[in-house]
Amino acid sequence: MHIHKYERWWLTFGIGMLLVFLATIAFAAFADNINPPSGLQAIDPTKVSKTPPFDHPGLRRLPDGNYEAYFVAEVFSFQPSTITVPVGRKVTFYVTSPDVVHGFYIAKTDVNMMAVPGWVNSESHVFSSPGTYLLICHEYCGIGHQNMFGKIVVK
């Protein structure tokens, strides 16, 4: 089979770029240890509503003055849908899902997770200014996806 010279250049270029991108991803994952937040804590997705602390999702104050917030993301809402947290305290968000993959993104922050059935994901954040922050599901999860949101009120 004859491949034209220019065609061969483009094939070489395309495959070369693919290898460069794969190497970049591998470098970020292994050398820089950049990973998505996930995979450390497992949960039975069929028993989320009976598994503490997700049987009573919501905000907990820790002895050191910081907070933990437990959320269940399910079609098509967050439980709880609203929490109120103080300015300047570290809040660690924990999220899981009993049904399908959802997103957990707090607008204007770096809290950006997936809620994956079978796993608990977590991220911490310190809110430095008061206000109402929108919590949105940013993974398409079904016909009510666009209605899946909540609020983080920071006072």
Residues at the interface with ligand CUA (CB under 6 A): 76, 102-103, 137, 139-141, 145, 148
Q: Which amino acid is residue 94, in one-letter code?
A: Y
**92, 68 contact by CB (below 8 A):** yes
Helix (H, G, I), strand (E, B) or coil at 105: strand
Cβ of residue 50: shortest distance to ligand CUA, in angstroms? Answer: 22
Cβ of residue 136: shortest distance to ligand CUA, in angstroms? Answer: 8
CB-nearer residue toward ligand CUA: 43 or 137: 137
Round to whole Å and give the CA distance between 142 and 53: 26
Round to whole Å and give the CA distance between 12 and 28: 24
Cβ of residue 89: shortest distance to ligand CUA, in angstroms? Answer: 27
CB-nearer residue toward ligand CUA: 90 or 138: 138
CB-nearer residue toward ligand CUA: 43 or 98: 98
Cβ of residue 73: shortest distance to ligand CUA, in angstroms? Answer: 6
Residue 116 burial by CB count (10 A; 0-12/13-18/19+): exposed, middle or buried?
buried
* Residue among 96, 48, 47 at smallest CA distance from 69: 96
CB-nearer residue toward ligand CUA: 66 or 76: 76
CB-nearer residue toward ligand CUA: 67 or 104: 104
Residues found in the chain? 155
Cβ of residue 110: shortest distance to ligand CUA, in angstroms? Answer: 20
